[in-house]
């Protein structure tokens, strides 16, 4: 394959398409296959958070991904956490510590300095691990936010990471969301997307297959998996949940969380081209 790549990035066509859980499943798969893995999301906006053993704040999603990786949660997994406290402002948490309240426009003035900090943290993580699974935020097609971006394609370029694009078929318009996302990117960014994952599928996949072939031809990117809609008892990081969950009301123990992560990792293994993913990472997995 050539030079081995140490990171892979999961981006989405929109928020809540399943980026976090796909990252969680991949981290568990890589961990099961014997690799030292680490989650990373440069910036997360969430109205919920977890605390590390040191009392530092980290997003619920990266806390779950730490469990999937079989490592202790730490704030480097999520260097910037934005906790919304108004329609246009957030509490800014840097490396697990509350720093200040900022309106969105004021926060964006600091993007260059924050991007440098994020990249330095990533390089430290990369040196110590076999595979870093990076989660994007929102969508890379938010073209108004592309200047000095360090959460989506800007971060993929900084870290030289191949990208898998996740789309949610359950909400409808999946092919339009894939095509629109890819076409709004510049050519170098499109080339960085190595595969498409369609998430939350219900029904007869034979009816979907003609559409998969057409979208592959339209965007020149392979669809490497169709993941079935799965009810998971794993805590959501915000209020955008699609069904009631006991775990959002009653705290789970780590053993129960592990079982659910293992269950989803098995579903992922059965429905994605894992050999293809290892191939783009430059890893020959026996």
Percent of the chain surpassing pLDDT 70: 93
pLDDT of residue 147: 87
Range(s) of the domain holding residue 195: 7-42+113-280
The answer to whether residue 88 is domain-embedded is no
The answer to whether residue 71 is domain-embedded is no
Check whether 259 has a pLDDT greater than 70: yes
pLDDT of residue 101: 82
Confidence at 189, pLDDT banded by 50, 70, 90: very high
pLDDT of residue 165: 98
Check whether 140 has a pLDDT greater than 60: yes
The answer to whether residue 61 is domain-embedded is no
pLDDT of residue 244: 60
Question: Between residues 43 and 244, which one has the greater pLDDT?
Answer: 43
The answer to whether residue 58 is domain-embedded is no
Q: Which of 144, 239, 157 is closest to 193 using CA atoms?
A: 157
Check whether 1 has a pLDDT greater than 50: no
pLDDT of residue 238: 57
Give the CATH number for residue 164.
Answer: 3.40.50.300
Check whether 199 has a pLDDT greater than 70: yes
The answer to whether residue 267 is domain-embedded is yes
Average pLDDT, the chain: 92
Secondary-structure percent of the chain, ordered helix, strand, coil, rounded to 5: 40, 20, 35
Number of domains in the chain: 1
Question: Between residues 151 and 237, which one has the greater pLDDT?
Answer: 151
Q: Which of 85, 87, 67 is closest to 77 using CA atoms?
A: 67
pLDDT of residue 246: 65
Transcribe 265-286 into DSSP letters: HHHHHHHB-HHHHHHHTT----
Average pLDDT value for residue range 150-164:
97
The answer to whether residue 221 is domain-embedded is yes
Check whether 138 has a pLDDT greater than 80: yes
The answer to whether residue 132 is domain-embedded is yes
Question: Between residues 88 and 81, which one has the greater pLDDT?
Answer: 81
pLDDT, tens digit, for every residue of 105-121? 888 888 889 999 999 99
Question: Between residues 260 and 251, which one has the greater pLDDT?
Answer: 260
The answer to whether residue 258 is domain-embedded is yes
Q: Which residues contact residue 77 at a Cβ distance below 8 angstroms, ignoring those fewer than 6 apart? A: 38, 39, 40, 41, 58, 62, 65, 66
């Amino acid at each position: 394959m050539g030079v081995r790549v140490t990171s892979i990035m999961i981006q989405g066509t929109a928020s809540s398409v399943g980026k976090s859980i796909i990252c969680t499943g991949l981290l568990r798969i890589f961990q099961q296959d014997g690799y030292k893995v680490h989650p990373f999301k440069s910036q997360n906006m969430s109205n919920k958070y977890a605390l590390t053993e040191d009392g530092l704040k980290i997003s619920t999603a990266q806390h779950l991904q730490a469990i999937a990786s079989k490592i202790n949660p730490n704030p480097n997994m999520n260097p910037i956490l934005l906790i919304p406290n108004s329609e246009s402002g957030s509490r800014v948490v840097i490396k697990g510590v509350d720093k200040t309240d900022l309106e969105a426009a004021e926060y964006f003035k600091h993007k260059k300095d924050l991007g440098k900090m994020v990249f330095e943290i990533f390089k430290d993580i990369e040196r110590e691990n076999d595979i870093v699974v990076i989660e994007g935020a929102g969508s890379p097609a938010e073209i108004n936010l592309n200047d000095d971006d360090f959460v989506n394609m800007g971060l993929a370029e900084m870290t030289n990471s191949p990208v898998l694009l996740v789309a949610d078929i359950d909400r409808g318009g999946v092919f339009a969301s894939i095509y629109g996302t890819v076409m709004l990117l510049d050519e170098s960014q499109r080339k960085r997307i190595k595969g498409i994952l369609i998430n939350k599928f219900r029904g007869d996949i034979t009816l979907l297959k003609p559409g998969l072939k057409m979208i592959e031809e339209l965007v020149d990117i392979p669809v490497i998996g169709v993941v079935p809609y799965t009810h998971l008892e794993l805590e959501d990081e915000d209020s955008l949940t699609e069904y009631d969950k006991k775990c959002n009301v009653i705290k789970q123990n780590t053993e129960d969380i592990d079982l659910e992560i293992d269950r989803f990792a098995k579903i992922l293994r059965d429905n994605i081209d894992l050999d293809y993913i290892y191939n783009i990472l430059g890893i020959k997995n026996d």
